[in-house]
Amino acid sequence: MPITYDDIKHKAQPPLDCSKVSDLRGRYFHNRLITNCENTDFTGCVLFHCYPSGILNSLEINPAQSEEEVSLKGVDLRGADLYEANLISANLEDANLIGADLGRANLGRANLGWANLERANLIGANLERANLKGTNLQDALLEGVDLEGANLQGANLQAADLEGADLIGADLQGANLKGADLEGANLEGADLEGADLQEANLQGAKLYGANLSGANLSGANLAKANLQGANLQGADLQEANLQGAKLGGANLEGADLIGADLKGANLKETTLEWANLEDAYLEGANLEGANLARANLLGVNLARANLLGVNLARAYLKGANLMDANLEDANLEGAVYNEETDLEGSGITQDQQNSMIFVEDED
């Protein structure tokens, strides 16, 4: 028989943090981990099976001999049935929860740092502001889970199912989300700096104002995702699918977008300075007011794109397709082009073309 909540609930109480409590005189506590108690008055306080022992002026009964006796730290709960368990603020650090059923469990503010939750079921669970730093969640089921404000720094979420999950303001710095399913997930304001999102599914995800600087999104599916105001500086978006994505006001300075599909994407007033868009597909994209200064646009497809007021100063446009693009008021000073650059129907003025640099192809 698997372990159930009834088997562990006596250890599921949150630690008694006394850092902001000065007076516990005459109180009674049972089976609690007590922390930061140096400046707290425990005169006449009854501590039954609590840890640590030796608290000045308290009445101690059957004191616990270790932290593990009064918490779930490091406990083996493989395959446990903890469906709808109340584990709010519980200490499950380093716990083994491989394959455990935590569906609809309340783990708000729980400490799950470095715990192993591989293949665990967390569908519908509450993990708001939980500590999941370094936690293994590979192949875990997290569909619709509440992870708002959670700490997932360095967590392993490879191939995890996070469809429709709430990750607003979550800290995912350096997390492994390779191949994870985040379709429709809400990552507004989340910190994903340096995260690995290779081949991840972020279709329709909300990433408004998210920090994705230095993140690896190569081959990721970001179709119709909302990335408005997001920081993607230096991000790797090679071969990513960004069809119909909203990138207005986003920062993609120095980003790698080689072969990315941005058909119909909204890049209005986006920063793409020094970005590498070689062989990217931007047909019909809206780049009004975007900054593409010094960007590499070798072989890019910008047919029918809206380039109204775009800054293309010193951009590299050899072999680019700008057929029927709107170049009205675009800054093309010092932009490099060649015979293969297609400007037909773009409405480019003579002054604009004169400001560009034509280069002959080498034989």
Closest CA to 4 of 83, 99, 109, 94: 83
Other Cβ atoms closer than 10 A to 62: 11
- Cα torsion 285, 287, 292, 296 to 10°: value is 10
Per-residue pLDDT, 363: 53
Which SS3 state, helix, strand or coil, does residue 317 take? coil
Over residues 79-107, the mean pLDDT reads: 97
pLDDT band at 146 (very low <50, low <70, confident <90, very high): very high
Stretch 332-350: mean pLDDT, rounded?
96
3-state DSSP assignment of residue 76: strand
The total number of residues written for the chain in this structure: 363
pLDDT in tens, 197-206: 999 999 999 9
Contact predicate 284/305, CB 8 Å: yes
Whether a cis peptide bond, with omega within 30° of 0, leads into 52 is yes
pLDDT, mean of residues 73-96: 96
Q: How confident is the model at residue 1 (pLDDT cuts 50, 70, 90)?
A: confident
Q: What is the pLDDT of residues 153-171, one digit of tens each?
A: 999 999 999 999 999 999 9
End-to-end CA distance of the chain: 76
DSSP designation for 52 = S
pLDDT over 60 at 179, yes or no = yes
- At 30-47, the pLDDT tens digits run 999 999 999 999 999 999
Dihedral (C-alpha) 314, 318, 324, 326: value to the nearest 10 degrees?
-10
* Contact in structure between 91 and 70 (CB atoms under 8 Å): no
Using the structure block, give the residue that is written with the tokens 């997001």.
Answer: 230
Which band of pLDDT confidence, cut at 50, 70 and 90, is reported for residue 360?
confident
DSSP-assigned letter for residue 13: S
Cβ density class 92-128: b for 16+ within 10 Å, e for less? bbbbbbbbbbbbbbbbbbbbbbbbbbbbbbbbbbbbb
116 — pLDDT class (breaks 50, 70, 90) = very high
What pTM was computed for the model?
0.92
For range 68-96, the mean pLDDT: 96
Q: What is the pLDDT of residue 144?
A: 96
HSE of 159, CA atoms in CB hemisphere, 13 A: 6
Q: What is the pLDDT of residue 361?
A: 75
Name the one residue in this structure whose structure tokens are 């209005």. Answer: 268
Max distance between CA atoms of the chain, in angstroms, equals 93
Give the rounded percent of residues in the chain with a pLDDT score beyond 70: 99
Q: What is the mean pLDDT of the chain?
A: 97
